[in-house]
Structure 1
């Protein structure tokens, strides 16, 4: 299956093994990895290749990931879904530091959420941020996510439990904010 989402400035496509070097380059930055729960630091090429081996074109939407590509600049990050511990879909994302501050993640997330709500019957998507990650929280706020609680979450890169702001986006809120 070939799945690609095009925005005004980005291409979101299924990850490929040839993305491994760029993924490893961007995630081997504590400024990026330290904001993510499930990414170790340091992050090696072998880590990227191992993750890419788990990515298949036939995965259900709740397990689909997209590589975020900036035309002319290459792989800039990733956005995708996984099933959380409560059995509900969770959206997660990261962007390489050279691409911060350009509005790319909001643009990518809008496309990924449009796709997700179009191809599933899910009523909501969960997410969240470590409490110090105001940039990511700002992205979620722009998209209509709301806070549903506070918790702690283990951060592999920090090897620590970190305070976390839990968020959700309901289908109704997504449709309502697009009007």
Structure 2
């Protein structure tokens, strides 16, 4: 399977590209965005971002053996955020972020719906996990809306904060998700 592009009514989800670096730096240069993420430093590190994008491109060359796969989210031809699946060789975990000026428009629910549908239709995974910091009510609402159920409280490392933060682990099965929760 090669890289794919997913289209929704308002969005396109596509594989990351090296040319996305400047836009990633712009959107992830906002502490209000990165403080809710586990692996992104603040301030944004351009060299680390460049390396991450290069690895992201490479992973799409062999989807079956990839440990992670990501989509960048475009709206009206401009990147507004990203969705990723990590630990694909185990129980995959979804993670996502959206530039702050795009919050509150339903974009992430729309994008996560498309990405999770793709995952369950194109892989053998029967379970998908998600984790969101307890204080991140927007992210928790997205997961709940799409049928994820809370299973445990966990600690989530936050590189930007330099500490761990209380989070909720959620899960959804293939059957629950594809049958409309």
Fold shared per TM-score above 0.5: yes
Contact kept? 2:5, 2:12, Cα under 8 Å? yes
Q: Distance in 2 between matches of 1:122 and 1:2?
A: 18
TM-score normalised by the chain length of structure 2 = 0.92
Give the CA deviation at 1:124. Answer: 0.6
SS of 2:132's equivalent in the other structure is: strand
Contact kept? 1:28, 1:44, Cα under 8 Å? no
Query: How many residues were matched structurally?
Result: 176
Contact kept? 2:133, 2:166, Cα under 8 Å? yes
Give the CA deviation at 1:153. Answer: 1.6
Match of 1:131 among 129, 134, 153: 134
**Which region of structure 1 is more displaced relative to structure 2, 75-84 or 105-114?**
75-84
* Structure 1 gap ranges (5+): none
Q: Distance in 2 between matches of 1:39 and 1:166?
A: 19
Contact kept? 1:68, 1:79, Cα under 8 Å? yes
Tell me the equivalent position of 1:26: 27
Give the CA deviation at 1:160. Answer: 0.7
Contact kept? 2:94, 2:128, Cα under 8 Å? yes
Match of 2:74 among 69, 94, 105: 69
Tell me the equivalent position of 2:94: 91
Q: Distance in 1 between matches of 2:138 and 2:148?
A: 14
Pairing 1:79–2:83 present: yes
4+ residue stretches of structure 1 with deviation over 3 A? none
Give the CA deviation at 1:151. Answer: 1.1
Tell me the equivalent position of 1:150: 153
Q: Distance in 2 between matches of 1:64 and 1:70?
A: 20
Deviations, residues 97-146 of structure 1 (Å, cap 9, x unaligned): 01111100000001001100000111110111001000000000110000
Pairing 1:170–2:157 present: no
Please report the RMSD computed on the Cα atoms of aligned residues, expressed in angstroms: 1.6
Tell me the equivalent position of 1:107: 110
Q: Distance in 2 between matches of 1:106 and 1:59?
A: 27
Q: Distance in 2 between matches of 1:177 and 1:128?
A: 21
Give the CA deviation at 1:46. Answer: 2.2
Contact kept? 1:13, 1:66, Cα under 8 Å? yes
Q: Distance in 1 between matches of 2:85 and 2:50?
A: 19
Pairing 1:14–2:19 present: no
